Structure formats: C-alpha cells, structure tokens
Structure 1
C-alpha cells in the first residue's frame, strides 16, 4: 500500500507535468531565454525538442552552440513577441531580441507540440533588410 508521502509525491509530479503542458509558446520561449540569461544550460535544455536534443546529445554541447552561434539568445534582453503562424504540425513564432551588441534581432522560433507541451524545434535568424540610400 502506498504511503501518504508517495501519494503526495505522485500528485506533485502530475501537477508539474500538467503545468508544463499548460505553458504557452511564449512561456516556453521566455523560460528558455531566462535560463540562458541565468547560464542554466540544464534548464534551457528542457525546452529543446527531441530532435534538437538528439543532434546536440548533451546540454553542455547545446549551450556551447547557443553561446557561439546565437549570441543574441545567450545574452538576450528586451524580448518582444511578434507574429505567429501555424504551419501544419508546427507553429512559427517571431521574436525580437536585443543582443549583447545592443542591436535588435528577429528570430523565427519553430515550435512543436508534444505530449509534454510545447518545445523549441529550431531557431532561425531572420536577416535584416538591406537599406538603400
């Protein structure tokens, strides 16, 4: 027979799983961005899709890729959510972020819905339009 302690632990785990599933796309992106600001790569890793986790294999490798390849995500501020669009089984969310260089960048987050809730499946930098004089 399960103890009261086991029952409470089980309820807490169900509540945590339900909370993760209730997170909106914006919540997931914000949570991962906050984790990067906090340098908590283990936490940031939790918001990456199984495909991303399969590619990078470890949170540390994933963190190094973000630090070196996406400095505006690693050192982000002034996050603003722009347009979103559903495309089949994915949702694309544009996000404006200020990077460590002080410049704003537009990122296209590819999100997938899983039994665990929304996860980040890819991030693409949208190039700034060329300016003509």
Structure 2
C-alpha cells in the first residue's frame, strides 16, 4: 500500500515539477532576450553556461557573436515558447520569435542546470517548417 501511495504522489507531482522547470527555463531565455534588446550584453552574458562563457571569454565577444550570428536574437520581438522536451537527459526549449524586419524564426535552446540555476548551453536555428504546398 505504501508503494502504491508513493507512486501516486510521484505521478501526481511530476507534472507540477515539469511545469515549474519549464517556467524557470522560459524565464532564463526571456530574460536573456530582453537583455539583448536593451543592449545589456553583460546581463545577457550571465544566462550563458560556463561552457559558452569559456568559448567566448568575455561578454563583449559573446555579444558580437550574437549580433553577427544570431541577428534575430539580437533584435527580437514577439517571443513565443513552444515545446520543452528532454532528449537523452538534456532539456531543449523551442522558441519562436520575430526579427527586426518581421521574419519568423524558430530556435532550439539547449539548457543545463547549474548551481546558479538554469543556463543556456547552446542555441540552434531550426529550418523553417514547410507551409502547405
């Protein structure tokens, strides 16, 4: 009976834990996107994982990379969070946003949990979906 009750508590609690986790991840990504719009590269830098920070060395290099390689992130608007999923133990958050000229983009954010909380460990631009042919 105890095993059943424990299983029931876990089963009922998991959706709430996943919801809370998703909200935390959305908050991190959303905060970084706002920081880029505000041109506060130092703040945006804080949401990058230690691996990303190690690759770029400082906030200035990181900001330049985002501005040149991810212009839709540098100038973003109409941010919508799509599906959050786990693949081989890694969390990925799909995000749809518009760039400065109104173009629609879908990005996949790889997230890791660190002692400082969730951080962005990589971003991939996904191909645009085919729309009716």
Common fold by TM > 0.5: yes
Aligned positions, number? 112
Note if 1:24 corresponds to 2:31: no
Q: How many angstroms apart in 2 are the aligned matches of 1:81 and 1:68?
A: 23
1:60-79 alignment, distance < 5 Å: 60-79=60-79
Whose RCO is larger (CA < 8 A, sep 6+)?
1
TM-score by length of 2: 0.79
Q: Which runs of no fewer than 5 residues in structure 1 stay unpaired?
A: 1-22
Match of 1:39 in 2: 39
Q: Secondary structure in 1 aligned to 2:65? A: helix
TM-score by length of 1: 0.79
Match of 2:15 in 1: none
Match of 1:9 in 2: none
Q: How many angstroms apart in 2 are the aligned matches of 1:89 and 1:31?
A: 24
Q: Which runs of no fewer than 5 residues in structure 2 stay unpaired?
A: 1-22
Q: CA RMSD in A?
A: 1.8
| Deviation digits for residues 82-105 of structure 1 (CA, Å, limit 9, x no counterpart) | 011012442100000101121110
Match of 1:118 in 2: 118
